[in-house]
């Protein structure tokens, strides 16, 4: 059972792609989507959410696109997932229900979610970029 949604995984991949390819100029949504094997319209809402949270920076104009909004060392996997709307706090969507749901299940899952978010917070973009560069090397 995957712990991350498809959208969350794509958001992380998109930020890594931007980090790898935006050194000389911004990465267009079309080029980014093409490398990820997606139609641009599918990725655009995720990219806009990442811009909204300052992870990416949108650049307008004929040679516009996306660049990193902050240094690679200052961006974590957890931040990317939260910006993409794929990691929710238990308090954001409380479930109505029985004593078992409210008193047992949700508190136990909240602990697990906090531990998972904490672990994701230790994964920094610069580490993921290094992995991608190593994997691409012959």
Give the residues across from 76 on adjacent strands. Answer: 124
Per 3-state DSSP, the chain is made up of helix, strand and coil in percentages (nearest 5) of: 60, 10, 35
> Is the predicted pLDDT of residue 70 greater than 60, yes or no?
yes
Band (pLDDT 50/70/90 cuts) for residue 5 is confident
What are 91-129's pLDDT values in tens digits? 444 445 677 777 887 788 888 888 998 999 999 999 999
The CATH number of 6-136 is: 1.10.10.10
Element (H, E) at 32: helix 29-36
- Domain coordinates in residue numbering, the chain: 6-136
Contact (Cβ atoms closer than 8 angstroms) between residue 21 and residue 33: no
Eight-class DSSP state of 15: H
Q: Say what the pTM is.
A: 0.81
pLDDT tens digits, one per residue of 23-69: 889 999 999 999 888 887 888 889 999 999 999 999 998 888 999 99
- Comparing CA positions, the residue from 43, 120, 39 lying closest to residue 18 is 43
């Amino acid at each position: 059972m995957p712990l991350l949604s498809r959208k969350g995984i794509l958001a992380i991949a998109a930020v890594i792609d931007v980090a790898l390819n935006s050194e000389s100029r911004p990465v267009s949504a079309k080029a980014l989507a093409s490398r990820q094997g997606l139609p641009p319209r599918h990725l655009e809402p995720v990219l806009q959410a990442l811009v909204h949270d300052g992870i990416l920076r949108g650049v307008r104009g004929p040679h516009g696109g996306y660049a990193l909004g902050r240094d690679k060392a200052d961006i974590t996997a957890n931040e990317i997932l939260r910006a993409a709307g794929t990691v929710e706090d238990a308090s954001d969507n409380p479930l109505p229900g029985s004593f078992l749901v409210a008193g047992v299940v949700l508190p136990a899952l909240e602990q697990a979610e906090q531990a998972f978010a904490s672990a994701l917070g230790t994964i920094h973009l610069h580490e993921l970029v290094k992995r991608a560069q190593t994997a691409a090397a012959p």
